[in-house]
Amino acid sequence: MKKLIIVLFAVLLLSACSTSKTSGNAKYPTKNIEFVAPAAPGGGWDLTARSVQKILKDKKLVSNNINVINKPGGGGEVGWNYLHTKNSHYLAVNSSLLLTNNLLGQSKLTYKDFTPLATLVTEWQAIAVPMDSPYKSVNDLFDQIKKDPKSIKVGLGPGLGNDDHLAFVQAAGEKGVNAKDLNFLVYDGGGGDVVTALLGKHVNAVTTSLSEVKEQHLAKKLRILAISADKRDESIKDVPTLKEEGIDMVFPHWRGIMGPPDMTDAEIKYWDEKLGEMVKTDEWKKLLKNNDWATFYQDSNETKKFLEEQDKQYRDLVEKSGLGK
């Protein structure tokens, strides 16, 4: 009888250990994925989140349900604070605002408070002038700014410290112009209001995303002097890059995906595989073309290094512009 009890106890113990081991390594994900777009519906973050959701489901790359939830406010701050309290079944779209919000003293969160999963896309910055502007090249424009900084009004939006602003600050620095001498006019409405101001000749030049001014350039309503890409855009081959104009810089306006802190290696690997497959699909390539986005895919390890480099670059630009906290 005593032997029987010992045998039964051993069987139960092995069973318990086996169950514990299985539950501790439960296949991820085990429930719905919540994808945070840290802005209202309709913007770039929201479009990125919903596009990723659709392609992952349509191509059956992820079997679990994926729901997009909008958490607008604070230039991404509300959504990212929300993500910071969640588990690995929650992800969020990010951008350089994750870095600049902290550098400008608007957030205590940094990129180190999250798990980098991927960099997905970029838009390129553009410097544009009215069609009849006397400045025929970006060097003409910066030569005049260097001569008399206050004579050139540069429109941007929706606020100082964003990519549009800091890209111009970097370009000006490459031309020997002190960022604090630049004469910016800020339009709260963002790119649309900025372009309207340029067309109305309320400003002499604008710095904005390429997508905001490409159609007007093609329609000859304004002229793009240069873009911040590493190569020319195929649809506007007459527009040089800043590098071609002797301004040694490439400036991406990127968007990516991150998870909450402390994701496991297995969870990170899962998204490396799924997102790596997604960016190879024809659907993803079509999305990029339709939205004037350029592919900028980097996996989790590459994104971690990229964020470290971007943080150093943005820190330097913020300090030069006099906006540091």
- Dist CA 80 CA 36 (whole Å): 8
pLDDT over 50 (residue 213): yes
69 strand-pairing partners: 36
Q: 66 has which bridge partners?
A: 33
For residues 227 and 197, the answer to whether their CB atoms sit within 8 Å is no
Higher-scoring residue by pLDDT: 189, 138: 138
% of the chain residues with pLDDT over 90? 85
Condensed to tens digits (0 to 9), the pLDDT of residues 280-322 reads 999 999 999 988 899 999 999 999 999 999 999 999 999 999 8
Q: Which residues contact 17 (CB under 8 A, 6 or more apart)?
A: none
Instruction: Tell me the pLDDT band of 77, cut-offs 50, 70 and 90.
Output: very high
The closest of 106, 127, 126, 62 to 257, measured between CA atoms, is 62
Q: What count of Cα atoms within 13 Å lies in the side-chain half-sphere of residue 289?
A: 8
- Identify the pLDDT of residue 30: 96
Is the pLDDT score of 141 beyond 60?
Answer: yes
pLDDT over 60 (residue 138): yes
pLDDT at residue 13 in the model: 42
Q: What is the pLDDT of residue 158?
A: 87
Q: Please determine, for residue 74, whether its predicted confidence score (pLDDT) is greater than 60.
A: yes
Whether the bond into 29 is cis, omega within 30 of 0: yes
> How does strand 66-70 pair with strand 294-298?
unpaired
| Backbone phi, psi, residue 206, to 5° | -135, 155
For position 190, what pLDDT does the model report? 72
Please give the Cα distance from 269 to 76 (Å, whole number): 26
Give the pLDDT of residue 93. 97
Compute φ and ψ for 148, nearest 5 degrees.
Answer: -150, 85
pLDDT of residue 111: 97
Distance CA 209, CA 32 (A): 34
Tell me the pLDDT tens digit for each residue of 98-127. Answer: 999 999 999 999 999 999 999 999 999 999
Taking only the tens place, the pLDDT of each residue in 184-202 is: 999 987 778 999 999 999 9
115-130 and 90-95 strand pairing: unpaired
- pLDDT (tens digit per residue) in 223-241: 999 999 999 999 999 999 9
134 upstream amide cis, omega within 30 of 0? no
The pLDDT value recorded for residue 325 is 65
The pLDDT of residue 42 = 85
**What confidence score (pLDDT) does residue 281 get?**
98
Buried b (16+ CB within 10 A) or exposed e, 177-214: bebeebebebbeebbeebbebbbeeebbbbbbbbbbbb
Q: Which is more confident, 325 or 90?
A: 90
